[in-house]
Chains A and B, each alone.
Chain A
Amino acid sequence: MLRNPPPAVHALLRVREFSALVWEGPCADWARASLQRAPWVVVRRSVQQPGAWPVGVRGALRVQRCAAWLPAGAAEDCVTPQWLAAQRLWRRQPGRHANPAILVLDEVAAVLAAHGHAGRWGPGGSVGFELASAVPCTTPASDLDLVLQADQPIARGDAARLHAELSKLPVRIDALLETPYGAVALSEYVLAGALVRLRCAVGPRLVHDPWTADRAAASLA
């Protein structure tokens, strides 16, 4: 479990120089303030460009998200959700992370390990951001976003059991299965027989099987 793997979607990058960021639109005042508080950005799902990472800046509000590109040399650290989980980072400073979405992580780890996913999962969203940056950004009402690397297909029955167990925990959990083609919400994948929304670099698609992405892409959005 490397601390510095090549950045992939959901990875958190520590920015050395804010001025290196190339903004996709106008840079909002809140984005500068947010970067001063916690100089971390999240790798977005986007078509790759050589030499720069597609990143998002988080603000305190859900609507506060700003897209930018970070030149590869301008990142001084990279951590993945999987690394945060493997390190059990939430145990390092007990008392510091007091919100339910973080306190539930030991139980989440036990469920994922019991399903054979140890080492493949980690927290994303505000929980991942808080653990990586050590800057509080969860609230008592925060959901827990989980990222589960699923290079091989997960059978719907297994996924349904995992979903059922995660749903019993006292926090709302939003789990994403990351397949080689994109990401699908666990809660949607377990609905048998339906088309599912696959989040791809080029945008959302409806597919039957997130592990083949229905190669023909007949349901292109």
Chain B
Amino acid sequence: MSYVTGAHIEWTGSEATPGDYLALLKPRVMSLVVFTALAGLLMAPGPVNPLVGFMSLVLIAVGAGASGALNMWVDSDIDAVMTRTMNRPIPAGKISRAQALAFGLTLSVFSVALLGIVANLAAAALLAFTIFFYVVIYSMWLKRLTPQNIVIGGAAGAFPPMVGYVAASGHVSLASFVLFAIIFLWTPPHFWALALLKSEDYAKAGIPMMPNAKGADRTRLEILLYTLLLVPVAIVPWLIGAASVTYGVIAILAGALMLIAALRVYKLRQGAEADLAAKQLFAFSILYLSLLFAEFIAEHGLGLASGLL
């Protein structure tokens, strides 16, 4: 690693491994992005060359990874004081901020430019906007400013299915907006359930997360309100004919369980029971979104949606 001493740069060598650079890309977020972008891609009308589809998915994932690296560049100061993030490559001293910035910018330019060549310019522009939104609007600006930060950050996480749809079709549609809305509305209950358990961590880092900025009770209410919005919106793909009856049934049943989990978080406010309810909501929210998109991918991938099974 290099560091500046006086007027010259002194090189002390680096022990960073490829795994450290991979960690900068937030691989778990990348896998979720691939999953949701695939749903958008498969939902688009008309045939897509499988290789073009695969390349587009890879580039969308790389773009998401690039924004993850740039996010770690921006957030290295707060990552260093939070137990959940203190082992990330920058606070752990394995990769410098400058290296993370260079890595993130290079991958951003590559992924956007190549998506423009592989798919179309509209998809490339939307991917560029997603990276800009996550890094500049969310990470640099609003994350440290407002307790609604997760709501805004959720929009960045909700773009990949739209990028996938545009990559395959060249335009957006109502159904692609609905996929965006599902992830957008899912993000607050998911992250606030975690924030209820980790509020001290966020307070230590000076991040105005809802529980430490507005209190746990307000957080529980907002979790419930967003879940009440999320559950009906998740059924819409079936109602507008973009998904089958099977999807509709799964969305209704899983939505009911999601609502029960949110209600438990709202009602149970003290002690170990409250913590358990928040943990259960956090865990179930992952299963809920995975179920919806897995069903969506399965039926569109197998061409079952046209038969409205």
Q: Is the pairing of A and B real?
A: no
